Structure 1
Amino acid sequence: MTEPRPRVWYAAYGSNMHAERLRRYLAGGRPDPGARELPGCRDPRGPDRSVPVELDGQVYFAAESAVWTGGLAFYDPDTDGTAWGVAHLLTAGQFSDIAAQEMYRRPGTDLDLAEVLATGRCEVGPGRYETLVCPGHIDRIPVLTFTAPWPMPPADGLRPPSAAYLRHLAAGLHEAGAWRPAAVADYLASRPGAAGHWTPEDVAAAGVP
C-alpha cells in the first residue's frame, strides 16, 4: 500500500493563475510567451482542484521581466491589502518542482518545508522568487507561495506591467470564476506599480487571451 502524497495548496498570484501556463510548469514545454523550454515536474499531473483565494497582503509590480517586458507580480504578505489569486492543490513535490523552475533551478529535489510551515516564511535564496511564504490553510492543508525577499518598494521602485502580462493575469482570475470582469479590471489597475499607469478601462480593453 503506497503512502499518501503530502499535499499543499500552491497560491498563484501571477501568470500561473492561468491554467494553460501552469500546465507547462507541470508537464513541460515552452509557455506562450516564453523564452525557455520548461522541464516540467516529476509528476506532470494537473491539480486535484483549483480554487479562488483572497490572501492578506498586497500584490505589486516591480523589477523587469525578460519575457513580458514590464513589471512582474510579487506578493508582500506584510503590507495591508488583499491579494487575489488561484490556489492549486498539488503534491509537495510538484510545488517544489514549480518553485525550482521559477527560481531557474533544475527540478527534482523536494524543498524542505519545515521552516516555512513553522514560521510562515523561509528564504531559499536571494532571488526574485526564492522566498517561500505560508499565508494560511485551506481545509487544514497549508497554502504556500513564493515571492521576493524584499518588502514592497516605494513608488520609484515599482514598474508597470505590460499588456500581455495583464492579459494572462486577468485570464487566470476570470477562470477562477469568483470575480466579475469589471472587478478584475479594477483590481489589476489598482495594484501598486499598475496604478497611475493603467486604468480599469485600459485593462478591460487589453482583452483576455
Structure 2
Amino acid sequence: MNSVRSIEPGAGGGPSPGRVWYMSYGSNMYLERLACYLAGGRPPGAARGYPGCRDRGMPAASVPVEVSGAVYFATESPVWGGGRAFYDPGAAGRVLARAHLVSAGQFADIAAQEMYREPGADLDLSEVLARGRAVLGEGRYETLVCAGQLDGLPVLTFTAPWGIDEVAWVPPSAAYVRFLCLGLLEAGAWDAETVAAYVASRPGAAGYWTARAVGELIHGSGPGGTVV
C-alpha cells in the first residue's frame, strides 16, 4: 500500500510556480479519465469529449492525499447524468483525494474544460496563493482553492462558490461513482472496502448508494445504478 502524503497547511503566497499539485477529489482521480482532459478524448460512460491541454503530457507524479473538509454530490451533470462531486473545505470531515503534479498551464487548461471553456489561457493564481481561495465566476468549478503545500508546491483544486448546505444534493450515476472508486483504488492507499464505504457515505450518495452496491460496482458484479 502507498502512504498517504501529508499536506502542509497554508496557501504560501509568493509568485506563481511553474508546477502545481492538482488535487482531484472526483473522477479525475483516475488517470485514464484524467488523460482525456490532458490529451483529449471522451471517457467511457461520458456524454461528451474534451479537447485536451496545450501540454498533453501525463502528470509527473500522482500521490494519495487526505485533507479536511467534505465532498458531496450536487447539480446535474450533462456528462454523466446525476450529481457532480464538489469540495467544501470549510465543512467538517475528511476527504480522500489524489494530487497530480502538473504544470501551471495544464492546471489552467483542466480548469477551463471543467468550466466548459476553451483551454489555452493561463490562470492568475496570485489571489488563490495569497488567500487560499479565488472566485473566478458564479458557476460550478469556478472557485479555486489552495488546500496547502506539498513538497514546497501549492495543492490546488476547484469547486463551487456555494457551501455543502447551500445546494440540493443529487445522487451520482453509476459511471461517475465507478471512476471515483477506480481513482482512489489506483492511488494505492485505501482498500476496496474503505473506498466503497467512503463514497457511499458522501452527502448526495448516502441513502441512494450503499457500500455494498458501490463495492459490487467496483468489482464489476453489480448492474449500473445498483441502489437502495
Normalised TM-score (structure 1): 0.94
Map 1:125-140 → 2, pairs under 5 A: 125-140=137-152
1:179 aligns with 2:190: yes
The answer for the alignment partner of 1:206 in structure 2 is: 217
CA RMSD of aligned residues (A): 1.3
Given candidates 72, 92, 95, the residue that maps to 2:84 is 72
Contact 2:38 2:55 in 1 (8 A): yes
Measured after TM superposition, the shift of residue 208 of structure 1 is 5.0
Contact 1:62 1:73 in 2 (8 A): yes
- Provide closer, same or farther for how the CA distance between residues 6 and 208 of structure 1 changes in structure 2, counting only shifts above 3 A: farther
Letter in 1 for 2:194: A
1:99 aligns with 2:111: yes
Letter in 1 for 2:215: A
The answer for the alignment partner of 1:16 in structure 2 is: 28
Map 1:1-209 → 2, pairs under 5 A: 6-153=18-165, 157-208=168-219
Q: Any idea what the Cα deviations from partners look like across 1:74-103, whole Å, max 9, x if unmatched?
A: 000000111111100000000000000000
CA distance in structure 2 between the aligned counterparts of 1:208 and 1:172, rounded to whole angstroms: 14
Q: Secondary structure at the match of 1:90?
A: strand
Contact 2:48 2:79 in 1 (8 A): no
Measured after TM superposition, the shift of residue 125 of structure 1 is 1.0
Q: Any idea what the Cα deviations from partners look like across 1:23-69, whole Å, max 9, x if unmatched?
A: 01001122222333311111100000000010110000111111221
Q: Secondary structure at the match of 1:195?
A: coil
- Structure 2: state its 5+ residue gaps: 1-16, 221-228
Letter in 1 for 2:151: D
CA distance in structure 1 between the aligned counterparts of 2:59 and 2:27, rounded to whole angstroms: 16
Contact 2:47 2:80 in 1 (8 A): no
Letter in 2 for 1:40: G
Letter in 2 for 1:88: H
- Shift >6 Å, 4+ stretches: none
Q: Any idea what the Cα deviations from partners look like across 1:142-201, whole Å, max 9, x if unmatched?
A: 0000000100026x8111111111111000000000001100011001111111111111
Letter in 2 for 1:194: A
Letter in 1 for 2:132: G
Contact 1:170 1:208 in 2 (8 A): no
CA distance in structure 1 between the aligned counterparts of 2:123 and 2:154, rounded to whole angstroms: 14
CA distance in structure 2 between the aligned counterparts of 1:208 and 1:151, rounded to whole angstroms: 33
CA distance in structure 2 between the aligned counterparts of 1:196 and 1:38, rounded to whole angstroms: 32
Matched pairs, number: 204
